[in-house]
């Protein structure tokens, strides 16, 4: 998978655009800036947006080409982010550190997903929030992007299980028209979650 993402992100254009994800923007705009973690951040569109708002951003991905594009975008926007190259199995997640975590189209195999999501819960500060938007299984009938393996897609029940220790402020399936670069374009079926640590 690392080779796949390196090749995809090596394209000259920002393949998912340079604007933040709409749902991520909607939630983060209402929050007081603090420490933010963005796993599987790719080309950095959400990281740079948050940094411009004053967030202290830590991001990681397995793709070197994604990191380079993110750092270029940060420089263009006059902000800095801490961007690390690693897989989710290698990332050492500290306890009670982050005020927000953004999981934007961060799809992981079921063999590691629940454990990783549980680690993220522990890494949230009290009152911290996880913001998630991902494709749900209905997406398989669409051609607007996302994994073609149903085990990588997220039904609401999967998220209720993974994040059962958090207070669900929003959890819903949404059909929308994606316009996030050439690989997220058209009608899409997604799940959105905003969950808070008490």
Alpha helix segments (H runs only) across the chain? 2-9, 22-28, 45-52, 64-76, 110-123, 156-162
Query: pLDDT band at residue 92, thresholds of 50, 70 and 90?
Result: confident
Cα–Cα distance between 86 and 63 in angstroms, integer? 8
* pLDDT greater than 70 at residue 1: no
Domain holding 149, by residue range, is 2-196
Cα–Cα distance between 108 and 96 in angstroms, integer? 23
Does the pTM surpass 0.85? The reply is yes
Q: What's the CATH code of the domain at 107?
A: 3.40.50.150
Asked if 128 and 154 touch (Cβ cutoff 8 Å), the reply is no
Look at the block and give the residue holding tokens 């975590």. Answer: 101
Total domains present in the chain: 1
Among 8, 5, 16, smallest CA distance to 178 is for: 16
**164: which residues sit within 8 A by CB, 6+ positions away?**
none
Write the pLDDT tens digit of every residue in 122-145. Answer: 999 999 999 999 999 999 999 999
């Amino acid at each position: 998978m690392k080779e796949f993402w390196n090749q995809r992100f090596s394209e000259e254009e920002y393949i998912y655009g340079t604007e933040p994800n709409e749902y991520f923007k909607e939630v983060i705009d209402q929050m007081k800036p603090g420490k933010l973690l963005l796993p599987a951040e790719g080309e950095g569109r959400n990281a740079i947006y948050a940094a411009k708002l004053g967030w202290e951003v830590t991001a990681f991905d397995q793709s070197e080409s994604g990191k380079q594009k993110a750092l270029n975008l940060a420089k263009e926007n006059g902000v800095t982010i801490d961007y690390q190259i690693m897989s989710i199995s290698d990332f050492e997640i500290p306890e009670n550190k982050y005020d927000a975590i953004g999981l934007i189209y961060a799809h992981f195999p079921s063999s590691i997903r629940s454990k990783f999501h549980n680690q993220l819960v522990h890494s949230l500060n009290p009152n911290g929030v996880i913001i998630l938007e991902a494709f749900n299984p209905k997406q398989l009938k669409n051609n607007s992007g996302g994994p073609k393996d149903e085990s990588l897609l997220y039904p609401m029940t999967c998220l209720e299980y993974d994040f059962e220790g958090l207070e669900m402020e929003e959890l819903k399936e949404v059909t929308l028209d994606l316009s996030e670069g050439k690989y997220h374009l058209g009608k899409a079926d997604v799940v959105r979650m905003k969950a808070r640590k008490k």
